[in-house]
Structure 1
Amino acid sequence: MNYNTQMEAAKNGIITPQMELVAKKECREPEFIRQHVAEGKITICANKNHKCLDVNGIGSMLRTKINVNLGVSRDCKDYDIEMKKVMAAVNMGAEAIMDLSSHGDTSGFRRKLTSECPAMIGTVPVYDSVIHYRRDLATLTAKDFIDVVRLHAQDGVDFLTLHCGITRKTIEQIKLHKRKMNIVSRGGSLIFAWMCMTGNENPFYEYYDEILEICREYDVTISLGDACRPGCLADAGDVCQIDELVRLGELTKRAWARDVQVMVEGPGHVPLDQVEANMKIQQTICMGAPFYVLGPIVTDIAPGYDHITAAIGGAVAAMAGAAFLCYVTPAEHLALPNIDDVKQGIIASKIAAHAADIAKKIPNARDIDDKMGDARKKLDWEGQWQCALDPEYAKSIRDERTPEFDDTCSMCGKFCAVRSMNKALNNEYIDIL
């Protein structure tokens, strides 16, 4: 049987080559993957035109995946630097790259990504619409926006963030409920502004069926953007956020009816004690569709350290059911991240994801931790580097502070508990001084 999308194949009992690859990576049976793809609880973001893709699955019952946001802006416009960030992110284990470029030759960079990058590629077409047409926002038509969606799909983009859940009703809600931070989603703010200036309905909502046909043709996953995500703790869980989430649940059903895969994007700033509840509400309203979260950031006062605030929230979110973590860098709220910011953001997100996978008892997730324990017990430094998330950095710290004795570190020296216990249990003399 021929099939257009992974979901269509799964619903008809077909295990695709992509499902086989995901099953192998996740230590699961292919039928397990097929069943959950059919139900919409696993997405395999794999555009038919992305030929160099290293396929991964996204779902709460799989390893938590990491997305890295990149792309140029008017103030930072070097695409060569962005490509270096892309390859560095892939080498550090990022499963997805989102191109958020808002300046210059966006189409050329996007096609370079889908022809050279093995990670899943995501984009936000509403950003690109103004750049593509080189016209002010208010002059664009609904057809212009939809045509850019089609262009991105043709270019091989695996998932598209579309802010379909914000409607003209949202305009009144924002005015009535007086949020502290209003809308902080860049895409959401553009749609909100367009609706205000033109008096028209959100084109991504009004022409959703046409968008579904485009996504079905190329097997593009829709990432339903949360235009009303909270941008500060005070706005978490408010009417605007929850009303949009209900609409995203309805849009999820409509996409699944057309065999189009869906992810649902989740909140940005959320108090720590509300993170788990947010995940459970989403799972209920969106029927288990994979949840893709930015952070969540659990305090508003740490600019320069938001990779840490996001990792705290991300670990709790993933443990409670989030499937996909969008990394946050130290530059969040401040600037376009440089290569070092990208690295710190990825490492923080991978720590959060891995910690959550262990808590969820994902198959084999803790194996590497157990190997690290064995290496530390034997004071096997080379073995520890092999297990480390960032071996080069770990090794550099030890090399910069070289201990007097190779079987110790410069913190404890011969007072090392591991060394003393090994010698004591082997009936050896324990020399301290």
Structure 2
Amino acid sequence: MNYTTQMDAAKKGIITKEMEVVAEKEHIDVNALRQLIAEGKVVIPANKNHKSLSAEGVGQGLRTKINVNLGISKDCCNLDGELEKVRTAIEMKAEAIMDLSNYGKTEHLRKKIVDMSTAMLGTVPMYDAIGFYDKDLKDITVDEFFRVVEKHGEDGVDFVTIHAGLNKETARIVKNNPRLTNIVSRGGSLLFAWMELNHAENPFYEHYDRLLDICEKYDITISLGDACRPGSINDATDPAQIKELITLGELTKRAWERNVQVMIEGPGHMPLNEIKANMLLEKKLCHGAPFYVLGPLVTDVAPGYDHITSAIGGAIAAASGADFLCYVTPAEHLRLPTLEDMKEGIIAARIAAHAGDIAKGIKGATDWDNAMSKARADLDWEKMFKLSIDEEKARRYRKESSPENEDSCTMCGKMCSMRTMKKILNNEDLNI
């Protein structure tokens, strides 16, 4: 039986090879997974042209996934450096990579990533349009916008962020409800500017069926972008954000009618006490579609440490229903991240995702923690290193401060509680 997309196959009762891979990774029944995909509650972003992909599922009942942003800019145009980030991100178990290149002819880098990446690849075609055509934003035509989306599909991109919910009505609400930080989404701000300059409707909203045609053709998952995500805690959960979310819910249903898979993007900067409610709002207004969040960053005052502000919010978001976390690095708001910045961002996001999985009871999530706790009780340092989320750092820290007794560390020495309990319970000489 033929099918066009993973959702089309799921509705027809077909088990695809990608579903089998995801079911094995998640230790769940493949038919249960197929049903969730048919309902739109799980997506498997898997472009037909991405041959190196190791499929991942995003959504209800699955492990929280993380995404790594990278890409070149006019000020930092090092292709080899970005490809090294891709290799490192995959080694560090990131499930997704977004190429956010916004300078020059980006096709070469994008194709390189598709060829080498087992992780799913996302892009924001809006970023590419200006460099692709080498013309002013105002002068880019509707046809040209869609030609870029088609090109990304041809190249093998698995999911595209499209800010289709920023229509004229949402733009009116933005203007009538002033924010501290206006529209902070780069793609959203460019679309807003294009609409204002041309006195026109958002082409991705007005011609949404044309977008669905492209996504159905290549099985691209639409990541419905949050142009109005809050860029400060002051702007969180405001009229523009909620209006856009309602529109995204409507667009989700239209995509599902065409068997196009959908994720919803979310905040942004947000106080701790608003995160849980926002996760509930998204799931309600967008009919259970997977939720992909940037952070949320829970304070605005920590440049240089925003991987931490993001991890705090990300853990709460994941515990409250978010399915996919976009990492944030220490360089957020400051500069293009280095390789080391990326590593710190990945670790922080993975910690947040795993903490969320424990809280929402994902099958097998606590097995890793229990194994680590057992190794600590046994003072099995080698096993502790191997179970560490960052093995290299754990080994380096211990090596940098060697204890007198190998079964302890330099924090407690012979007064180590694990050492004391192990020896007492085994009737061994304590010798403190």
Matches within 5 A, 1:24-39: 24-39=24-39
After superposition, give the CA deviation of every residue in 1:208-241 in whole Å (9 maximum; x if it has no partner). Answer: 1011011001000000000000000000000000
Structure 1 residue 231 and structure 2 residue 231: aligned? yes
How far did residue 172 of structure 1 move? 2.1
How far did residue 17 of structure 1 move? 1.0
Is the 1:272–1:313 contact (alpha carbons within 8 Å) kept by the matching residues of 2? yes
After superposition, give the CA deviation of every residue in 1:109-168 in whole Å (9 maximum; x if it has no partner). Answer: 111111111110000000000010000100101111011111101110000000000012
Tell me how far apart the structure 1 counterparts of residues 366 and 175 of structure 2 sit (CA, whole Å): 48
How far did residue 60 of structure 1 move? 3.0
How far did residue 428 of structure 1 move? 2.0
Is the 1:77–1:104 contact (alpha carbons within 8 Å) kept by the matching residues of 2? no
Is the 2:226–2:267 contact (alpha carbons within 8 Å) kept by the matching residues of 1? yes
Q: Which residue is equivalent to 1:115?
A: 115
Q: Secondary structure at the match of 1:353?
A: helix
Q: Secondary structure at the match of 2:161?
A: strand
TM (norm. structure 1) is 0.99
Tell me how far apart the structure 2 counterparts of residues 79 and 104 of structure 1 sit (CA, whole Å): 12
Tell me how far apart the structure 1 counterparts of residues 349 and 390 of structure 2 sit (CA, whole Å): 13
How far did residue 277 of structure 1 move? 0.3
Q: Which residue is equivalent to 1:418?
A: 418
How far did residue 275 of structure 1 move? 0.3
Q: Which residue is equivalent to 2:297?
A: 297
How far did residue 390 of structure 1 move? 0.5
How far did residue 169 of structure 1 move? 1.9
Tell me how far apart the structure 1 counterparts of residues 168 and 370 of structure 2 sit (CA, whole Å): 53
Tell me how far apart the structure 2 counterparts of residues 172 and 288 of structure 1 sit (CA, whole Å): 28
Structure 1 residue 44 and structure 2 residue 35: aligned? no
Q: Which residue is equivalent to 2:6?
A: 6
Q: Secondary structure at the match of 1:105?
A: coil
Q: Which residue is equivalent to 1:367?
A: 367
Is the 2:269–2:298 contact (alpha carbons within 8 Å) kept by the matching residues of 1? yes
Q: Structure 2: give runs of 5+ residues left out of the alignment.
A: none
Tell me how far apart the structure 2 counterparts of residues 103 and 93 of structure 1 sit (CA, whole Å): 27
AA of the residue aligned to 1:125: P
Structure 1 residue 101 and structure 2 residue 109: aligned? no
Q: Which residue is equivalent to 2:356?
A: 356
After superposition, give the CA deviation of every residue in 1:161-181 in whole Å (9 maximum; x if it has no partner). Answer: 000000122332222111111
Q: Secondary structure at the match of 1:82?
A: helix
May I ask how many residue pairs the two structures share in their alignment?
Answer: 432
Aligned-residue sequence identity (percent) comes to 58
Q: Which residue is equivalent to 2:17?
A: 17
Tell me how far apart the structure 2 counterparts of residues 172 and 379 of structure 1 sit (CA, whole Å): 62
Q: Which residue is equivalent to 1:65?
A: 65
Q: Which residue is equivalent to 1:429?
A: 429
Tell me how far apart the structure 2 counterparts of residues 414 and 89 of structure 1 sit (CA, whole Å): 39
Q: Which residue is equivalent to 1:254?
A: 254
Is the 2:423–2:429 contact (alpha carbons within 8 Å) kept by the matching residues of 1? yes
Greater mean alpha carbon deviation, residues 156-165 or residues 97-106: 97-106
Q: Secondary structure at the match of 1:223?
A: strand
Q: Secondary structure at the match of 1:264?
A: strand
Tell me how far apart the structure 1 counterparts of residues 407 and 91 of structure 2 sit (CA, whole Å): 31
Q: Secondary structure at the match of 2:43?
A: coil
Greater mean alpha carbon deviation, residues 154-163 or residues 364-373: 364-373
Matches within 5 A, 1:134-149: 134-149=134-149
Q: Which residue is equivalent to 1:166?
A: 166
Is the 2:104–2:132 contact (alpha carbons within 8 Å) kept by the matching residues of 1? no
Q: Which residue is equivalent to 1:125?
A: 125
Tell me how far apart the structure 1 counterparts of residues 165 and 400 of structure 2 sit (CA, whole Å): 52
AA of the residue aligned to 1:313: G
Tell me how far apart the structure 2 counterparts of residues 425 and 369 of structure 1 sit (CA, whole Å): 23
AA of the residue aligned to 1:257: E
Structure 1 residue 273 and structure 2 residue 273: aligned? yes
Q: Secondary structure at the match of 2:58?
A: coil
After superposition, give the CA deviation of every residue in 1:240-285 in whole Å (9 maximum; x if it has no partner). Answer: 0000000000000000000000000001001001100000000000
After superposition, give the CA deviation of every residue in 1:272-327 in whole Å (9 maximum; x if it has no partner). Answer: 01100000000000010000000000011110000000000001101111000000
AA of the residue aligned to 1:264: I
How far did residue 359 of structure 1 move? 1.2
TM (norm. structure 2) is 0.99
Greater mean alpha carbon deviation, residues 114-123 or residues 172-181: 172-181
Q: Which residue is equivalent to 1:386?
A: 386
Is the 1:60–1:318 contact (alpha carbons within 8 Å) kept by the matching residues of 2? no
AA of the residue aligned to 1:259: N
How far did residue 379 of structure 1 move? 0.6
RMSD (Å) for aligned C-alpha atoms: 0.7
Greater mean alpha carbon deviation, residues 219-228 or residues 162-171: 162-171
AA of the residue aligned to 1:173: I
Q: Which residue is equivalent to 2:219?
A: 219
Tell me how far apart the structure 2 counterparts of residues 167 and 137 of structure 1 sit (CA, whole Å): 18
Tell me how far apart the structure 2 counterparts of residues 413 and 151 of structure 1 sit (CA, whole Å): 61
AA of the residue aligned to 1:346: I
Tell me how far apart the structure 1 counterparts of residues 174 and 245 of structure 2 sit (CA, whole Å): 15
Tell me how far apart the structure 2 counterparts of residues 287 and 174 of structure 1 sit (CA, whole Å): 25
Greater mean alpha carbon deviation, residues 353-362 or residues 264-273: 353-362
Tell me how far apart the structure 2 counterparts of residues 117 and 247 of structure 1 sit (CA, whole Å): 33
AA of the residue aligned to 1:375: A
Is the 2:158–2:221 contact (alpha carbons within 8 Å) kept by the matching residues of 1? yes
Tell me how far apart the structure 2 counterparts of residues 184 and 121 of structure 1 sit (CA, whole Å): 23
AA of the residue aligned to 2:177: H
Q: Secondary structure at the match of 1:366?
A: helix
AA of the residue aligned to 1:16: T
Tell me how far apart the structure 1 counterparts of residues 329 and 315 of structure 2 sit (CA, whole Å): 16
Q: Structure 1: give runs of 5+ residues left out of the alignment.
A: none
Structure 1 residue 287 and structure 2 residue 279: aligned? no
Q: Secondary structure at the match of 1:344?
A: helix
